Amino acid sequence: MDDISFTTFLKVSLMPTTQGKFGALQRMLNGPGGYDFYKRMKLAAREVARGEISSQEILFQLGTIKRPSERSHNLLMATRFVEWLDSLEGAVASLDRPSGTYKKPNMVFGIRVVPELVYTLSGVRYVTYLWAIGMPKLTRQAAGAGLFLLRQQLGTGKFQDAKFQIRDLRQEKTLGEDCINNESPNILEADIALLNTMWLGNMPKAA
C-alpha cells in the first residue's frame, strides 16, 4: 500500500498517544484495519446531493447493511447529512470535484484527497469532506492542518477560489478555512514526519 485516505490520515493524527497511532497504522497496513466503515453512506450522500437519488432511498439502501452496528451508525450519519443538506437553501451540487494525492519529496506515503461534495451557494463554491468518525473527535487544530493540506493540493485551477470545509456529522458543525492559522503548516509537517517514521516500521518513544 502506497497511500492512505485523507480521513485515515486525520484519524491517526488525532489519536492521543504514539502507541495508539502506531497500532492503528499497523492494523491498516497489515490487516483489515483499512476498511471504510462509512464508504456506502458517503457515496450515497453524494448521489443525494446531486439529485440522483432521494433522501428516502438513501436510508432504505443503508438499512440493508447486514452488520447491526455498521447499519445503525451509517443511518445516523446519513440522516444528519440529509438534515444539513436541507438547511443549505439554494445550494446546487456540482457533478465535478477535485481529487489528487498529497505527497512531498520527504514522504514515504501519499494522502489521497477526494472530497465527497462540491456545491455552490450564494455564488460561492464549497469543496466539502464528510467526517463521520465518532472517536477520536475532530478538533479545530486537526481540521486546520487538514484544510491547509486540502487547499495546498486541490486549490488550483477552477477550484482556486473555492472554499474548503469539513462537515463534521458527529458534532453537527462545519469546520472551514478559519480553522487554518500560522501553526497549521507546522502541525501538518509534524504529523507527516511521525507517520513517516511509523511507516518505516520504527516506533518512536511514547508521547
pLDDT tens-digit series, residues 10-69: 999 999 888 888 777 777 766 544 556 777 888 888 888 888 888 888 888 888 888 888
Of the candidates 82, 113, 81, the one whose C-alpha atom is nearest the C-alpha of residue 97 is 113
Question: Is residue 49 left, alpha or beta, with left meaning phi > 0 and alpha meaning psi from -120 to 50?
Answer: alpha
C-alpha span between 123 and 116 (Å, rounded): 20
Integer Cα distance of 170 and 156 in angstroms: 30
pLDDT tens digit string along 163-181?
999 999 999 999 999 999 9
Torsion sign across C-alpha atoms 141, 144, 150, 152? negative
Can you give the pTM of this predicted structure?
0.89
The neighbouring-strand residues paired with 129 are: 166
